[in-house]
Structure 1
Amino acid sequence: MEQDIYLFHQGNLRYSYQLFGAHVDVQNGEAGIRFAVWAPNAVQVSVVGLFNDWDGREHPMKKLNDQGVWCVFIPGLETGMMYKYEILTTHGHLRLKSDPYAFSSEQRPNTASIIHPLHDYTWNDEEWMKQRTERNIYESPVSIYELHLGSWKNIESEVFYTYREYADMVIPYVKELGYTHIELLPLTEHPFDRSWGYQATGYYSVTSRYGTPDDFRYFVDQCHQAGIGVLLDWVPGHFCKDEHGLRRFDGEALYEYENPSKAEKSQWGTLTFDFARNEVQSFLISNAIYWLKEYHLDGIRVDAVASMLYLDFGKNDGEWELNEHGGRENIEAVTFVKKMNEAIFEEVPNILMMAEESTSWPLVSAPTYSGGLGFNYKWNMGWMNDMLTYMELDPIHRKYHHHLLTFSLMYAFSENFVLPISHDEVVHGKKSLLNKMPGDYWQKFANLRAFLAYMYAHPGKKLLFMGGEFGQFDEWKDMEELDWKLLDYDSHASIFNYIKQLHQLYKDMPALWELDHKEEGFFWIDPNNNEQSIVSFARNSRATNDQLIVVCNFTPEVYHNYSIGVPEQGFYEEVFTSDAEHFGGSGQTNGLRLKTVPVPWQGQDQQITMTIPPLGVSFLKRTVTKEVEHEE
């Protein structure tokens, strides 16, 4: 224990949750629970609960060192019991606090911690975990279904199913659609439903809204057995101010900065973690490792990274102070992020660490040894903003904003990108993805199909928020379940089927993912036809015969006998089109094989003539035949 305490104070205890919190133990032949907490400014700390009538005089803790680690063993206590810490501050106030390291918590609005064993679940996902260590995620298909459990389906508003019940409903649905991963909005315990988990109090407690920690382990286990990875949103940048939580935990600023200009995130009403404090580093790094190790998660999406990196994030002039070098970067936060990522990849390799970083900070997804922040993926917020702005334009105006369609390829290989259409884009008056699309009823669906096809053809892994897969008309209603009744209507059922088929194409075609992060995986054929809002490009895999030609038309005009340059002689077959009638399209397809003509065009040695569908995307693949081989 002494060595662990030393490492904790040095900021290097990567498994601090094994030291702190409530643990089943046996001392002097008696079974009970060992409690440990960090509260350096406390005059006295006690464990209280129903077992002692919440009387702090019954079970005072012993202070083990001058740096504020308190510990006590209480015989006879069992798992499932509720407890809190009663803390006497230097100001003479008694505070009742939830355990920062509690593994389980009471269901809101109650706030007590619950004793829960750390290891009491038998996993059955050995095959998945073995395959994960062997998989090259960078050269694999990754399509993520972003999910908020409570509003995916619920019994009624604020009354939810359990993790086990969600497993039975969500997993077959996601598997049918063809997603490779589920990403869950934060499940750390939080007091307010409408914070969606982004303002937490219990960083080691999976929220009790949907059941117990082992219920959630079952959810992950079942996902893995079905071949689906599980990612979790995680919020190390800030925490909420509720009295039972981390705020002024022992009567003084402890987990948060003492300096209000650094501590306060006024736009969210939250407090920033003190990234310079070693014990806070141990707390947060251990927390990420905890979720990855103890819940077998396949990755973490780190929320609001920019809010950690910049001192002036969300602040007005006069509300923040320059760093010691006269800049606006939070130097200790940058150092912490690098340290965190190094620790995580050493302890849990072959996982995803995805940064939601909304600025142009360089090398976010590069290793720390080459000057990067150490994540292995970054959300491409630039692509998302440009494309949604473009798609919301009336097609007649798109030719004046053609750069929004093509600019992302100027930097597409500067990071390992995920293309995200997340919950943030379909809430708070921003409209649903379908309702962002201009035009009449048919055109809205055609625009959506075209957008999704372009997204899946564009370099980068994919993420789509729930409801987008069947064309939810209303924006996300976080207190109600999705509008499942829409699947009874042909247009919405067709979008659902379209996503299924698009995923099948995506998985079947290595050109769409194998070289996602390398320049040789993409080249433009014609990015400049702004007058007709048509772009064409190629996606490559390592195998030369896997190349795909992608042609996108973002106007409702049909073009017959349209010439496209192609690099190889042969016949080209349309392997997928967003305009197929069974998807709700107009059926302007290329049913016959398209033979090349040896006339250079658009920088290519050959050309083909094809039909370009309205508001449509066509995927073409070269078919080598005996006739062509003979000609060659």
Structure 2
Amino acid sequence: MTKTLPIINDDPWLEPYAAAIEGRHEDAARKIQELTGGSGNLDDFANAYNYYGLHRDQQGWTLREWAPHATSIYLVGTFSDWKECEPYRMQPVADGNWEIKLPARAMKHGDLFKLHVHWDGGWGERIPAYATRVVQDETTKIFSAQVWCPEKPYQFKVKHFVPNTAPLLIYECHIGMAEDKEGVGTYEEFRVNVLPRVIKDGYNAIQIMAIQEHPYYGSFGYHVSSFYAASSRFGTPDELKHLIDDAHAAGIAVIMDIVHSHAVKNEVEGLGRFDGSYDLYFYGDSRREHPAWDSLCFDYGKDAVLNFLLSNCKYWIKEYQFDGFRFDGVTSMLYYNHGLGQAFGSYADYYNGGEDTNAITYLTLANVLIHEINPHAITIAEEMSGMPGLARPYSDGGLGFDYRMAMGIPDYWIKTIKEKRDEDWKPTSIFWELTNRRADEKTVSYAESHDQALVGDKTIIFRLIDKEMYWHMMVGDNNSVVDRGMALHKMIRMATASLINGAYLNFMGNEWGHPEWIDFPREGNGWSYKYARRQWSLVDRKDLKYQYLNNWDNDMIHLLSSVHNFQATPIRKLWDKDDDQVLAYMRGNLVFVFNFSPTRSYTGYGILAPAGEYDGVLDSDSPRYGGYGNIDESVSHLTQPDPLYADAHLGWLKLYLPARSMQVLRLAAAKPVKAAARKPAARKAHTGRKKKK
């Protein structure tokens, strides 16, 4: 008798769809056996990059490419004066593959090259599909592959890195826009200038965007042309390796934003018509072009495409030591309609026949392979439909991702800021939204990522403060709009970060309230880099208020990381009262208390909590964070007993709650404490006692 998969056992609501879930699981199992010849070892299968592409050994050079529709292929480059020469003609071998072997003197490090691919009825210049180095001529803007074989290639110093995921705190970043200058930043500049900031901030992972080569800088790296090439506009492969090595030495994991959901339509730079055919890597019918992204959709039903993509995952792990991937556009992959215009209001929407079973199989295999290569690897799905099992292990019946992006959270915050008066922010709604997730799947929670900062949208801080940021961010300039914006910015980020069940993510610069938006150089803005950078000078200036938000984020991140497995500690709601706009919850021995009211401060506000003594840890009203200093942080708080809750060892924690503020307290003595005679709580006195020095 076949055992029911754990994912179905754990969620009775999935029982009606057991056949579909088990069918997907069997599809993946069958494909693994098929691809591996029965061994089940995908690591042995995913080696396309070791066969295809340009390779140097003691005998010389070997170049192979897959182009079954081609009739002839010539290797051309600086070594042949870009002309077709018989010595550089590739030869057809089995299964649509082409090969050329050349002596060592035929090419050298730094040479540029392409392929001239001929087919019945035409020909075209092509960059090899497995090129590992692609560069653009500064004058002509033409892309070419480049021979990359330095005499002394970079050697990693850190050999076996294990990421810290307890909790995982991610700093999302883009190398090109990570500098203060109006231009393109480099791997080396990021390593020297930005990585030390990340280390100081307390994050334990960086998630790097736009690594795979893309011809249009303004695509943010999402229209990939060369899947095996690290973008040369940021520097050399060795410089990227040096950056990753230094991150590992500092205990920071490096996650790559990988794009396997689609590809750029370009034919010369990309895979669009590599051998003249339309369906080599992509669908050949109406599904070929993505209806919303102006790009091409992979045909995940082809074994050669699976080999190309799975080997790509392995390549970045093995060659560059990446610790995992954030898979972009997963929703688009999962459904034939790419999830466009679909509400996903019930479980039936995930099992109605509109799922792309081939793509689901690929994603499952990718996760199996990645964790086979590195059991400590991190995989994250950028997915908005909420498909059950996405972030459950393959053995449980899931697709195998470690985390899924909690994409509803930033949407919730933006909607709240845009559509609700401050007086209408409801703690019950906030708590529900930040904890509304499947109990069996870990998520990456975030208030905002790069998406919320793109032109046409606004970051949280810019929605809150807007144009006042240009005039009233000087220290000592008391402005009610700025004060409100900074207070809510701190509270939003703490609520989001402190209610994680997996990981927390921040986009670079947003932690300290980077002003304005992100807009890459394009024709519409005169090819300007003004908004495609990070103005670190703002947070470094002691006469500006950005430092206060940075202090808050630093202390928040360090607090969460100081609690081992914080993300796994149970969340215990202590209090929520929409009329008062007060929310309190507990994780471990930490209590998080929020007063979202814009006008009402509360003296001696009672929260039912485990009886004992509590010390203040953080409060957003501290002058260190740009607040008013209304909370006396030297006070310890003793709960007041209540006969009704004596058996439950609960008492009333009486606190002063300034308007628009939050505070974190730590339970110092987890046992009932006899209440001492004390005066009524006052604004600065609290119900408590001074901490011992």
TM-score (norm 2): 0.81
Q: Are 1:23 and 2:64 counterparts?
A: no
Q: Is the 8 A contact 1:391 1:447 kept in 2?
A: no
Alignment of structure 1 residues 115-126 onto 2, 5 Å:
115-117=147-149, 120-126=153-159
Asked whether 1:574 is paired with 2:612, we answer no
2: CA distance, partners of 1:624 / 1:379: 37
CA shift at 1:195, angstroms?
Answer: 0.4
Q: 2:651 aligns with which of 606, 615, 620?
A: 606
Q: Which residue of 1 aligns with 2:482?
A: 441
Task: State the 1:492 CA deviation.
Answer: 0.7
What letter matches 1:446 in structure 2?
A
Amino acid at match of 2:613: F
Q: 1:107 aligns with which of 120, 125, 136?
A: 136
- Residue 282 of structure 1 corresponds to 307
1:539 corresponds to: 587
Q: Which residue of 2 aligns with 1:558?
A: 601
Please point out which of 555, 558, 583 is paired with 2:625.
Answer: 583
Q: Which amino acid aligns with 1:473?
A: P
Is 1:175 the equivalent of 2:199?
yes
In 2 relative to 1, CA 627–68 (structure 1 residues): closer, same or farther, beyond 3 Å?
A: closer
Q: Is the 8 A contact 2:185 2:234 kept in 1?
A: yes
Deviation at 1:625, TM superposition (A): 9.3
User: Whole-Å Cα distance in 2 between the matches of residues 130 and 432 of structure 1?
Assistant: 34
> Which residue in 2 is equivalent to 1:455?
496
Deviation, structure 1 residue 405? 3.9
Give the 3-state SS of the residue equivalent to 1:264 in structure 2. coil
In 2, the alpha carbon distance for the partners of 1:533 and 1:264 equals 48
Which letter does structure 2 place at the counterpart of 1:353?
Answer: T
CA contact (8 A) 1:163 1:219 kept: yes
Q: Please, which of 76, 86, 90 is the counterpart of residue 61 of structure 1?
A: 90
Preserved CA contact (<8 Å) 2:409 2:445? yes
1:622 counterpart = 2:667: yes
More displaced, 6-15 or 44-53? 6-15
Please give the alpha-carbon distance, in whole angstroms, between the structure 2 residues aligned to 1:227 and 1:261.
Answer: 47
Distance 1:121 1:52, change over 3 A: same
User: How many Å separate the matches in 2 of 1:330 and 1:343?
Assistant: 20
Partner residue in 2 for 1:272? 297
CA distance in 2, matches of 1:255, 1:391: 47
CA distance in 1, matches of 2:498, 2:649: 20
**Cα distance in 2 between the residues matched to 1:175 and 1:272:** 38
Distance change in 2, residues 1:329/1:580 (3 Å): same
| Residue of structure 1 in register with 2:252 after alignment | 228
| Distance in 2 separating the partners of 1:459 and 1:625 | 24
Equivalent pairs: percent with the same residue? 27
Q: Residues 410-430 of structure 1: CA distance to partner in whole angstroms, max 9, x if unpaired?
A: 425341111132100111322
**Letter aligned with residue 99 of structure 1:** P
Q: Deviations over 1:539-568 (max 9, x none)?
A: 12xxxxxx111111222221111001112x
Contact 1:390/1:404 (8 A) holds in 2 = no
The alignment status of 1:49 with 2:39, answered yes or no, reads: no
Contact 1:590 1:610 in 2 (8 A): no
CA–CA distance in 1 between the matches of 2:408 and 2:204? Answer: 24
Match of 1:427 among 443, 450, 454: 454
Aligned partner of 1:38 in structure 2 is 66
Cα deviation digits, residues 264-291 of structure 1 (max 9, x gap): 1132110011111111111111111111
Contact 2:180 2:537 in 1 (8 A): no
Match of 1:486 in 2: 538
* Cα 1:18–1:626 shift into 2, 3 Å: closer
Partner Cα distance (2:552, 2:398) in 1 = 38
Contact 1:559 1:611 in 2 (8 A): yes
- 1:334 aligned partner: 360
**Distance apart, 1:154 and its partner CA:** 5.5
Equivalent position amino acid for 1:80 in 2: G
Please list, as runs of the form range in 1=range in 2, the aligned pairs for 1:328-407 lying within 5 A after superposition: 328-399=354-425, 402-407=428-433
The alignment of Structure 1 onto Structure 2 pairs a total of residues equal to 592
Cα-to-partner distance string for 1:352-395 (whole Å, 9 max, x where unaligned): 10000111200111011211111111111122322332344555
Letter in 1 for 2:51: L
Can you list the C-alpha shifts for 1:435-460, whole angstroms capped at 9, x where unaligned?
22277110000000111111221123
The equivalent of 1:198 in structure 2 is 222
Structure 1 residues 590 and 360: alpha-carbon distance in aligned structure 2, compared to 1, 3 A threshold: same
- In 2, Cα distance between the equivalents of 1:161 and 1:549? 41
Q: Could you tell which deviates more after superposition, 16-25 or 378-387?
A: 378-387
Tell me: CA distance 1:354–1:625, structure 2 relative to 1, closer, same or farther (3 Å).
closer
Q: Distance in 2 between matches of 1:130 and 1:222?
A: 11
The letter for the 2-side match of 1:526 is W
Q: What SS is found at the alignment partner of 2:575? A: strand
The answer to whether the aligner puts 1:215 opposite 2:215 as a matched pair is no
User: Would you say the 8 A contact 2:170–2:205 is kept in 1?
Assistant: yes
Cα 1:363–1:299 shift into 2, 3 Å: same
Aligned to 1:153: 179
Partner of 1:505: 559
- Does the 8 Å contact 2:459/2:517 carry over to 1? yes
Distance 2:571 2:639 in 1: 21
8 Å CA contact 2:455–2:519 kept in 1: the answer is: no
Whether 1:96 and 2:125 are equivalent positions in the alignment is yes
The range that moved more, 301-310 or 68-77, is 68-77
Q: Structure 1 residues 630, 276: closer, same or farther in 2, change over 3 A?
A: same
* Cα pair distance change 1:595/1:98, threshold 3 Å: same
Q: State the SS of the aligned residue for 2:504.
A: strand
Question: Contact between 1:9 and 1:279, CA under 8 Å: does it hold in 2?
Answer: no
Deviation at 1:627, TM superposition (A): 10
Say if 2:175 and 2:186, in contact at 8 Å, map to a contact too. Answer: no
Change (3 A) 1:589 1:259: same
Maintained 8 Å contact 1:265/1:314: no
Deviation at 1:255, TM superposition (A): 4.3
Query: 2:99: which partner in 1?
Result: 71
Query: Would the aligned equivalents of 2:403 and 2:443 in 1 still touch at CA under 8 Å?
Result: yes
Give, in whole Å, the separation in 1 of the partners of 2:429 and 2:326. 29
More moved, 192-201 vs 405-414: 405-414
CA positional deviation for 1:615:
1.5
Aligned to 2:517: 475
Mapped to 1, the partners of 2:335 and 2:117 lie a distance apart of: 34
Aligned partners of 1:223 and 1:230 also within 8 Å: yes
Unpaired stretches in structure 2, ≥5 consecutive residues: 1-33, 343-348, 466-479, 521-528, 677-693
Return closer, same or farther for 1:216/1:629 CA change in 2, 3 Å cut-off.
farther
| Counterpart residue type for residue 128 of structure 2 | D
> 1:457-498 CA distances to partner (integer Å, 9 max, x unpaired)?
112311111121221121223333223342224311111121
**RMSD in angstroms over aligned alpha carbons?**
2.7
**1:37 CA drift (Å):** 0.3
- Structure 1 504/258 Cα, relative in aligned 2: closer, same or farther at 3 Å? closer
1:220-265 Cα offsets, whole Å, 9 max, x none, are 1111122222111110010001121100110112444334332211
Tell whether the 8 Å contact from 1:255 to 1:273 is kept in structure 2 after alignment: no
The answer to whether the 8 A contact 1:459-1:522 is kept is: no
Contact 2:392 2:440 in 1 (8 A): no
Gaps of 5+ in 1: 1-5, 318-322, 541-546
Name the SS of the counterpart of 2:143 in structure 1. Answer: coil
- CA–CA separation in structure 2 for the residues paired with 1:415 and 1:626: 33
Separation of aligned partners in 2, 1:250 and 1:604 = 73
Shift of 1:188: 0.7
1:543 corresponds in structure 2 to none
1:522 paired with 2:546, answer no
TM-score by length of 1: 0.88
